[in-house]
Amino acid sequence: MGKRAGRNRQQCWGFTLLELLVVIGIMALLLAVGIPAFESFSKRSLNSASPGLMSTLRLARQHAITHRRYVWVVFPDAGPSQGGVLSYQGSEVEHALRSYAVIEGDENNLPNEYITDWKYLPQGIYFDAQLPASSSIFNSYNAATVNYPFPDSQSPKNHNIPAIEFRPNGRAYTIDSFGSTWNPGNTAHIYLIAGIVNINTSVGALASAPIKVSTNNALVRVFGATGQMDYYERQ
């Protein structure tokens, strides 16, 4: 009698083929409903991220003109393990591909002073540093001989870091392909895309390569000759 009851209990713990098919069907339905909703959310996030970035770029340019200073908008990259150049210390890696800030200096990169706090992209949006465009501020950068003014949390020293430089004449400069000088003739491209960036603050690095969750992206362009900028979405 006891053995029969035990066998009956074990049989009740299993799932029938029909039950499994029902669960799979429900999961497929939820996925079909969730993907369009997520893509719509990603598009809204891109729309909300770009105006803040554009506003900061305009602020930096205006500050350079008004105060007759050199001003940089800096964009921390993914770090050496992901093809970048900026090495991080602990929690500084939180800035990677997700934030930007404005720093003031002079033609000798001194003094180094933040004129904005670090600004972060909305959750689920990051700067795409993997696009092959040579005009991307991430891909066109070469750290051979040029230092950017980037005071870190440990000491007032310089780091190599992708950036756009605004000068008192209002023009925008980026590093040339040899990494040796600031060039005013290029148009800087800043790509934004929906995805996930996994941060490992204990070792100061990305835990893995960024994961894209949508093919839609946005592009902010800064024109070197004029310092003006625009924005548009890409499908």
> Out of 85-99, 136-150, 155-169, which region has the weakest mean confidence (pLDDT)?
136-150
d(CA 119, CA 59): 13
Q: Is the pLDDT of residue 155 over 50?
A: no
For 3-58, the pLDDT digits (tens) are 555 555 555 555 677 777 777 877 766 655 555 544 554 556 677 778 899 999 99
Report how far Cα 223 is from the mean position of its chain's Cα atoms: 20
153's tokens: 């949390």
Q: Which residue carries 């053995």 as its tokens?
A: 3
For the chain, the average pLDDT equals: 77
Global confidence as pTM: 0.76
d(CA 204, CA 207): 9
The whole-number pLDDT of residue 211 equals 86
Question: Which DSSP symbol is given to 68?
Answer: T
